[in-house]
Amino acid sequence: MSRNTMKKQAIALLLLSAIAPHVSASENGLPPAPPKPHGLIVHVGTIESTAAKSLIADQPVVLLAVAKNAAAENAMRADFAKAGLAGQVTVASLAGTRIPLIDNVATLVIASDTSVDQAELLRIARPLGKVQAGGKTIEKPRPETFGQWGQYHFDATMSDVGNDRAAGPAYGIQWLSGPQDSSAQGVRVVNDVFVQPEGRPQMIVARDASSGLPLWQRPDITSVSRYAFLLDDARVYLYPQVQNARFPAETMIALDKRTGQTVTTYSEGITFKVTVDVPANDHKKREEVVKPLQARAADFQARLAGNSLLQVASADLVMLDADTGKRRWAATAANGQVFMFPVMTADRVFVLEGPKASSFSYTHWPAVEIRTVHCLDAATGQKVWSLDWPKDREATIAYNLTTSNGKLAAVTRVGANKGKVSVLIVDAKTGKEGFFGSNEVFKGEIGGGHSSARAIAIGDRLWFTTITVVGGSMSLTNPNDPAQLDRSFARVARPVGCTAYRATPNWLFGSLTTYSLDGKQLVHTDAARTSCDVGAFPANGLSYITSNHCFCQPYLPGSIAFHSRPFGGVEQLQRLERGTAAAAPARAEQANEWPMFLRDNMRTAWSPEKLQPQLKQLWSIKPGADTAPANPLLAKSWDDHWYAHGPLSQTSVAEGVAVAALTHRQQVLAFDPATGAEKWRTDVDGRVDSAPTIHKGLVLAGTHNGWLYALNRDSGQLVWRFHAAPRRERIVVDGQLESPWPLFGTVNVDDKGIYAMAGRHTDSDGGMFWYQLSLSGEVIKQGRVGEDALKSTTTGGGNPGRSRITGSNTPAVMTADRYLMAGVHLARSEKGLEPWFGLFPEGRSWEHEFWQLRHGMRSLVPGNQGLLARVDFLGGYKLAAYVGTQGRMYAYNGDDFVMIGGSPRLQHRGGDSDSELRRVKRVADFNTTTQPNPREPGKLLYTTKGAEEVWNFGEPLARGNGATALAVASDTVLQGIEVTNRDRHRERAAMAYRLQLINFADGTVRQDLALPAPPIVGGIAVAAGRVYVTTNDGSLTCFGAP
């Protein structure tokens, strides 16, 4: 055995020991299979592809190879690309002695380069991660200031107050991963493991808490109740929903935290057994049996303290041994009543009893009418005391229960439907009522929307929160003392909506708005938001949030961990690097070309090219075949990327060449437009998510590692590249390393220059950084949209009237005088790009005037998810707008256009996301009529008309998200679809994926052409009489005249 081979095996063994520290016993007493290698590995120094393969194997592992200089970086990148490792392996070079990586992220750091000191190696290692350098292995200690969050309400006392003293305002992204969906379950984080339900259908997924890289997943189950979804040092506890099962699961289960394997079934706890025979085809009988079980399971709650597991569902209260599953004791509520909001301390259990009450929330938040407050001995279940509710009081509905400083506290509404906010405080030792009523903090009315009021007890302070305001706090021990009422934040109008609040010893977290507990500071970001009624989870010095589907503002997609380190400033870098090639000879521009994503800077997707009446397939290639990583967890992470729609990007066709990108494998490819033969292939640094731009002998491509590449059109050789990201550090995003400041693949360019926008959001990592460059790469102008610090005050969310630009980076719509992204509207001027508030004037009504202003524009306005987002959840504010309409996709030419989804007239939040295809014409006058609003007396309903429908495609083959690509070529509408209409089984069997040629004049289908897979968003290009379609299997298919 050679020395090199021995070294590789030693590294692999070290890796296993570093990231496989523990397994617990399975149900049969045998240990589960050991956890597989995972996380981010950093190798500092030269490493060959064969050694890299031994490190990553076929596991969910990402490797950063850090070279000593640029020459070594380029050599290693070429080696890894040739070995098929690009994407899973990223190469970067040292910035002096600094590794270009964010803090606290690597599972394992191996340093063969001795010039990097130990402090720098430990900086990038995550807590409990390993550093191997100089023949020694060091484990990075977990900071004492880092806390965890293992239950929905943090702990068994339902406190919602965590123990993390490092988490704070969300200044920047630690990692971003997972599908864009909506989950009300929230996240659980203990030490180095993050667990949540995610995806559609939802499944339980575990990730490395510092990098977001996947550990394991259970696609067969998800969690039914967020209040019974728990995590500790060894296990994940949940009441499962089994995928495709006829009946609810019978019991709660526990999974091994490291492997996801089931280790315990709690058969002695609360069960949901079906006790009658239900014939397989008797759907009515099944519904009769299942419905009451589901209603009972919806309120399933569990609390974990040490090895005590307390369960509550409807009238049942059961205490179990969490390790063995043995029952310790049980109790049953009075007839017609339920137990609710159990609170467990070391020796006591407190619980409310009474009739179940209705709650007001987007997600399920239970409520109960208080009849009795119980205190039980935690060891035996025996009654310690009970407080009966006075019969002469009006019905009092409790929204939560918690304990602190020897007191129990609950927020209530007095009144069965709408009612007055009141607070209840009870002495936890004696059961004596200490306070019930309202004051200047706990006041107002509860009724209608969202999750309404909550009480959070932090030491002696009881805080009151709703979806619209942090009302303030009062003293638990002196509730009647008006001098101890604090309303520091009561006048701040809704900085973040639809959220639940949580706290740490320093901050109150309302999603990503943080309130200092001393009442002196409020820090706000619009970069992201959780699903409604869920909120942020502070742990590990980070703020973890789930993905959300709402997008009532331009938020970032996916599940995200935010750190609280302020922006580090713009690094002094040699940003322009020149290659060995020059631009290819310029060719005369042709009207029938398609040189960029959606054809042009205005993203019209409209070509004057007149196609033949009938087309046929000319050729089909599959450059994206076999490009996914071998590990299925990592492959799914790549698929989850919100802006990458498959292994191959859309195609640009101009100047005699067709160009696309292998998105995840970080390569730009050129083809012969007539034959599909590959002409050249060039490796780049970072994902390329959309069609590169062809312009005057150059192929321009932005990458997610912050680079703008200019390649020779004919050879693919580097002409120059420009580092537009302000800093060189990397984060993990959906299974790869990316810059916090990515560029989109498609690039805007005209006679004023090339425009590069680096960044994710104006409110994250210092904002978004733009450059106006010459064709030779020199800086003409530069600037930023964003700030070093987040807002310390805010006037509220939802109203587009604003004093600063807030939004996210998306492929821009560029006109002669505008540069438009998702919420970021800029004017092109002598200064380059400047904030433009033309669509958001102060003092105007929210939607009516907004639509009228858009009607006056003759360009597309991106919606809150931009033009490249996946079609999932693409409704409401997420939709793009053109003149008097709002839709999912457009192809437009002045007053005439076609659109998919949305509405041709004004609708609140923009309309739906279906795949209905229409031809529409703009009308000259934006007509508005008003009428009284019957639901809100004194207010008006607006009915507007800015466009007229010419034809509607009628009953489409594509429903929901079935239509994914749209273009117009003169008199032909081109629609790329998957047949998703449930009533069209025969059509799907005959041709599931198709390109439809539709007559522009009357909307009749002229021809259906078969595709190998669903088209990707923006995946149609038209040039020189040919149609090019990119599909999500990595294929590019060309159609032309027979």
> What's the pLDDT tens digit per position in 483-536?
999 988 887 765 666 788 999 999 999 888 899 999 888 888 889 988 878 899
- For residue 421 the two structure tokens come to 């906010």
Report the alpha-carbon distance of residue 60 to residue 36 in Å, rounded: 8
pLDDT at 875 over 90: no
Give the C-alpha separation, 584 to 665, whole Å.
25
- Tell me whether the CATH fold assigned to 3-139 matches the one assigned to 172-563: no
pLDDT at 909 over 70: no
What per-residue confidence (pLDDT) applies to 929? 72
Domain 576-1040, classified CATH 3.40.190.10, yes or no: no
Q: Is the pLDDT of residue 364 over 90?
A: no
Confidence of residue 20 (pLDDT cuts 50, 70, 90): very low
SS3 5: helix
Q: Is the pLDDT of residue 610 over 80?
A: yes
Categorize the per-residue pLDDT at 918 as very low, low, confident or very high, splitting at 50, 70 and 90.
Answer: very high
pLDDT greater at residue 625 or residue 927: 625
Taking CA atoms, 467 is separated from 496, 500, 763, in Å, by 8, 7, 22
**pLDDT value at 795 more than 80:** no
pLDDT in tens, 637-664: 999 999 999 999 999 999 999 999 999 9
Q: pLDDT higher for 944 or 740?
A: 740
Radius of gyration of the chain (CA): 30
Per-residue pLDDT at 210 exceeds 90: yes
Residue ranges per structural domain of the chain: 3-139, 172-563, 576-1040
Domain 172-563 in CATH 3.30.460.10:
no
In the prediction, which pLDDT does 496 show?
63
Strands laid side by side in the 825-829 sheet: 808-814, 818-822, 825-829, 832-835
Q: Side chain identity at 526, as an amino acid letter?
A: D
* Residue 450 predicted with pLDDT over 60: no
Q: How far is it, in rounded angstroms, from Cα 669 to Cα 678?
A: 7
Tens-place pLDDT, residues 101-110:
999 999 999 9
pLDDT at 845: 47
Total residue length of the chain: 1042
What mean pLDDT is reported for the chain? 89
Res 1017: pLDDT: 96
DSSP type of residue 483? G
* Residue 844 reports pLDDT greater than 50: no
Mean pLDDT of 340-369: 88
pLDDT at 16 over 70: no
Higher pLDDT, 346 or 20: 346
Average pLDDT over residues 8-16: 45
| pLDDT band, residue 864 (cuts 50/70/90) | confident
CATH 3.40.50.150 fits 3-139, yes or no: yes
pLDDT tens digit string along 949-965? 999 987 678 888 899 99
What's the rounded Cα separation, in Å, for the pair 208 and 214? 6
Residue 667: its pLDDT value, please? Answer: 97
State the pLDDT at residue 800. 35
Instruction: Say what the pLDDT of residue 842 is.
Output: 56
pLDDT in tens, 28-72: 444 555 456 689 999 999 999 999 998 888 899 999 999 999 999
d(CA 471, CA 445) in angstroms, rounded, equals 13
Quick one: average pLDDT of 563-574?
Answer: 94
**What is the token pair recorded at 170?**
């969300």
- How sure is the predictor about 884, in pLDDT bands with cuts at 50, 70 and 90? confident
Note the pLDDT of residue 425.
Answer: 97
Helix then strand then coil, in percent of the chain rounded to 5, is 10, 40, 50
The pLDDT assigned to 873 comes to 64
Q: What percent of the chain has pLDDT over 90?
A: 69
Query: d(Cα 1019, Cα 1036) in Å, to the nearest integer?
Result: 9
pLDDT, mean of residues 878-892: 89
Buried b (16+ CB within 10 A) or exposed e, 315-335: bbbbbbebbebeebbebebee
3-class secondary-structure state, position 412: strand
Which residue blocks in 646-787 are alpha helix, DSSP H?
none
Select the more confidently predicted residue: 839 or 545: 545
**pTM for the whole structure:** 0.94
Residue 751 has pLDDT above 90, yes or no: yes
pLDDT tens-digit readout, 935-945: 677 777 666 77
- Per-residue model confidence (pLDDT) at position 366: 86
- CB-hemisphere CA count at 13 Å for 66? 28
Contact 913, 871 (CB under 8 A): yes
